[in-house]
Amino acid sequence: MKAAHFLIAALCVVIIGSCGNSTPDAVAHLGDAVLTMEELRERIPNNISAEDSTALAQEIIQSWLKDALVLQEAEKISEEEKLAVERRIEDYRKSLLIYSYEQDWIKKNMDTVVTDEQIQTYYEANKSSMKVNEHFIQLKFCSLPEKSKDVKNMSTAFASDDIATWEAFCVQVGAKHYYNYSTYVNWEQFAQLIPLAIADRSQFITQATSTQQINFNGEIIWVKIGSYLLPGDSSPLEMVRSNIASILLNIRKQELLQKMRNGLYDQAKSEGKLEQ
């Protein structure tokens, strides 16, 4: 049934080309270029209606014919231009083959394990160049409506080091809250949690290492920053660990590829295969 729909679609399209060159299963052709029924069928999804498949078939055939016309015109370029195109195609073919071979060789020969010791060593050697370019903070905060009867108790709970009890109290009274002294958030993430208009970010951050209680938009916000990074500070190891691992793997990859290339060169040279 679906093939019949394709045939109907094909009959709706003006077939361009000479009458004597058509292929039996062709739905469109232009000169020596042919779009077959099988190629058309492969481009039509199986889960669409007959009406939609007919419309889509017409669009595909028309698009194919337009591409064929453009290619026909493009073939009229000079022999010198065609030669330049062929050279680019050959260069691309060689590059693709080399890339494919190198990736397969790396996959079979490279050790992809990066140890904590290797990461630590690289970090210590390059720490001075690993700077943050924005503000990062480890944050604790919560907020309640100013008129809440739980404001006083929240002040006491927030000041406590008993995080579990404080978080349970926040849940109990429905307070917005956040706590993570092991992971840094950047300023944009902080602003999503606490939409304060702060002119001097660095000053606010350094002051907020002690508890700050802020009245804002009918709410009371409690904020405390456990640790922070200012622009220009060195990145802590945990923040750059995955980046360092990627750098080390890339260095290892480049060294192995260079070793492989040199090995092939030395072998060919020793076997007298090189001519210079």
pLDDT of residue 6 exceeding 80 = no
With beta carbons less than 8 A apart as the criterion, state whether 141 and 216 touch. no
Rounded mean pLDDT of 123-150? 95
Q: Which pLDDT value is given to residue 271? A: 85
- Whether the CA torsion 231, 236, 237, 239 is positive or negative: it is negative
pLDDT band at 276 (very low <50, low <70, confident <90, very high): low
Share of the chain above pLDDT 90, in %: 70
Assess whether pLDDT exceeds 60 at residue 18. no
pLDDT band at 14 (very low <50, low <70, confident <90, very high): very low
Residue 136 has pLDDT above 60, yes or no: yes
- Note whether 179 and 139 are within 8 A (CB): yes
Q: Which two tokens stand for residue 275?
A: 């001519």
Could you tell me where the DSSP H helices lie in 14-146?
37-42, 50-74, 79-109, 116-126
Structure-derived torsion over alpha carbons of residues 120, 121, 127, 130, reported in degrees to the nearest 10: -70
User: What confidence tier does 219 reach under pLDDT thresholds 50, 70, 90?
Assistant: very high
Residue 233: what pLDDT?
A: 94
Which conformational region is residue 217 in: left (phi greater than 0), alpha (psi within -120 to 50 degrees), or beta?
left
Angle at 80 between CA 77 and CA 81, to 5 degrees: 45
pLDDT at 88: 96
How far is Cα 180 from Cα 225, in angstroms, rounded to an integer?
Answer: 10
Look at residue 25 in the predicted model and tell me its pLDDT: 78
Instruction: Report the pLDDT value the prediction gives residue 24, as an integer from 0 to 100.
Output: 64
Amino acid at 38: E
Confidence of residue 155 (pLDDT cuts 50, 70, 90): very high
Contact 178, 139 (CB under 8 A): yes
The predicted model gives 168-182 an average pLDDT of 95
Instruction: Please give the model's pTM, rounded to 2 decimal places.
Output: 0.69
What distance in Å separates the CA atoms of residue 15 and residue 6, rounded to the nearest whole number? Answer: 14
- The pLDDT assigned to 272 comes to 85
Res. 13: pLDDT tops 50: no
Cα 212 from chain centroid (whole Å) = 38
Mind listing the pLDDT tens digit for each residue in 68-85?
999 999 989 999 999 999
- 22 has a pLDDT exceeding 90: no
Rounded Cα distance, 175 and 178, in Å? 10
